């Protein structure tokens, strides 16, 4: 049974924003997606952008809002502190920060920071996906969340032990637009097919090189000059090289674990990562990223007392 809206859930990233109206059971009553992410919101004002989307969804004026992502960064609306690793997943969402000076109850979920183990690292938004992914609270999981800045997370008995960032999506767009490879990929790089031979071959090559991608980037350009490689195929080469390189690199870092990879992703990017992980011979469990982040935001609203609990919270 679908009820009245209990909370609005917002995933506010650097370049895009998603808003859902949820009832007390977490059911979706309405949804909006916009490209007014952090960059746009810094110009137009966070409150104005949010209220516009809520009004379009017909949200009541008193409806509370829970959000995650870059809205909580230093360049965002209100800086939400980081929770440090090692961090129990159920504890991350508890400390949502209230946005002051708004009529609504608006709270932003903390990010995660790794200050000591391995490389320094941060995440904002993926911790909420992780909390909503429904991982069992016992055993080891290796979680991959692909994107502009792909995150790999080691979870042990419900605790985030460590994580890392591979800026694969950003490398793809920056190299395609601003490096010599722009001559190879062309103005509007074609979408890449997960089952094409160029994606597969360059993915395999990157896996064999152990995550070293710099030695073969220029070969995409040279293959255009010497072997007449077409723009669409060049895009597949670059995509295969970068995704294969990310997987090889992560496999090296997490070689001590034999856990299958939990892939939290949506859409066409998911097909590329699933194919690349198969090529690497890695077992994969797939979880939809949209479902996961919505579920995590709903859980955050409950843990922060923003909606009436329908049962025991974790």
Rounded to 10 deg, the angle between the 231-253 and 217-227 helix axes is 150
Stretch that binds a copy of itself, among 88-96, 101-109, 238-246, 286-294 (CB under 8 A): 238-246
- For strand 111-114 and strand 82-84, is the pairing parallel, antiparallel, or unpaired? parallel
Count how many Cα atoms sit within 13 Å of the Cα of residue 257 in the half-sphere of its side chain.
22
Among 136, 138, 188, 215, binds a copy of itself (CB under 8 A): 215
Check residue 242 for interaction with a copy of itself (CB under 8 A): yes
Check residue 207 for interaction with a copy of itself (CB under 8 A): no
Check residue 170 for interaction with a copy of itself (CB under 8 A): yes
Angstrom distance (rounded) from CA 121 to CA 149? 11
Shortest distance in whole angstroms from residue 154 CB to a copy of itself: 14
Shortest distance in whole angstroms from residue 115 CB to a copy of itself: 6
Angstrom distance (rounded) from CA 10 to CA 294? 8
Check residue 121 for interaction with a copy of itself (CB under 8 A): yes
- Contact mark string toward a copy of itself, 245..284, x via CB under 8 A: xx-xxx-xx-------------------------------
**Nearest residue (CB) to a copy of itself, 65 versus 70:** 70
**Nearest residue (CB) to a copy of itself, 217 versus 306:** 217
Helix, strand, coil percentages for the chain (3-state, nearest 5):
40, 25, 35
Shortest distance in whole angstroms from residue 209 CB to a copy of itself: 8
Shortest distance in whole angstroms from residue 189 CB to a copy of itself: 15
Angstrom distance (rounded) from CA 150 to CA 290? 15
Angstrom distance (rounded) from CA 262 to CA 290? 15
Question: Cβ neighbours of residue 129 under 8 Å, at least 6 residues apart?
Answer: 145, 264, 289, 292, 293, 296
**Coil, strand or helix at 278:** helix
**Coil, strand or helix at 243:** helix
Check residue 179 for interaction with a copy of itself (CB under 8 A): yes
**Residue ranges binding a copy of itself (CB under 8 A):** 74, 82, 113-115, 119-122, 149, 164-168, 170-171, 174-175, 177-180, 209-219, 222-223, 225-227, 242, 245-246, 248-250, 252-253
């Amino acid at each position: 049974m679908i009820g009245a809206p209990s909370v609005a859930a917002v995933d506010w990233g650097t370049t895009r924003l998603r808003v859902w109206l949820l009832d007390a059971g977490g059911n979706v009553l309405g949804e909006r997606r916009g490209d007014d992410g952090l960059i746009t919101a810094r110009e137009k004002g966070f409150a104005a952008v949010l209220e516009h989307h809520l009004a379009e969804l017909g949200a009541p004026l008193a409806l509370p809002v829970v959000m995650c992502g870059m809205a909580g960064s230093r360049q965002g609306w209100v800086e939400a502190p980081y929770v440090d690793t090692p961090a129990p997943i159920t504890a991350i969402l508890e400390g949502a920060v209230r946005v002051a000076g708004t009529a609504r109850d608006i709270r932003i979920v903390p990010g995660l920071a790794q200050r000591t183990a391995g490389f320094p690292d941060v995440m904002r938004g993926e911790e909420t996906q992780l909390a909503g992914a429904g991982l069992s609270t016992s055993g080891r999981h290796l979680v991959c969340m692909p994107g502009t800045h792909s995150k790999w997370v080691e979870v042990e008995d419900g605790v985030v032990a460590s994580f890392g960032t591979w800026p694969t999506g950003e490398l793809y767009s920056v190299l395609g637009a601003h490096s010599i490879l722009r001559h190879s990929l062309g103005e509007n790089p074609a979408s890449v097919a997960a089952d094409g031979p160029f994606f597969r071959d360059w993915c395999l090559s990157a896996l064999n090189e152990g995550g070293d991608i710099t030695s073969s980037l220029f070969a995409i350009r040279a293959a255009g000059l010497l072997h007449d490689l077409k723009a669409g195929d060049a895009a597949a080469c670059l995509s295969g090289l970068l995704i294969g390189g990310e997987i090889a690199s992560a496999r090296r870092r997490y070689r001590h674990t034999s856990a299958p990879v939990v892939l939290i992703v949506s859409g066409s990017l998911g097909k590329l990562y699933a194919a690349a992980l198969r090529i690497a011979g890695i077992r994969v469990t797939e979880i939809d990223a949209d479902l996961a982040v919505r579920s995590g935001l709903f859980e955050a609203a409950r843990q922060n007392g923003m909606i009436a609990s329908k049962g025991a919270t974790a």
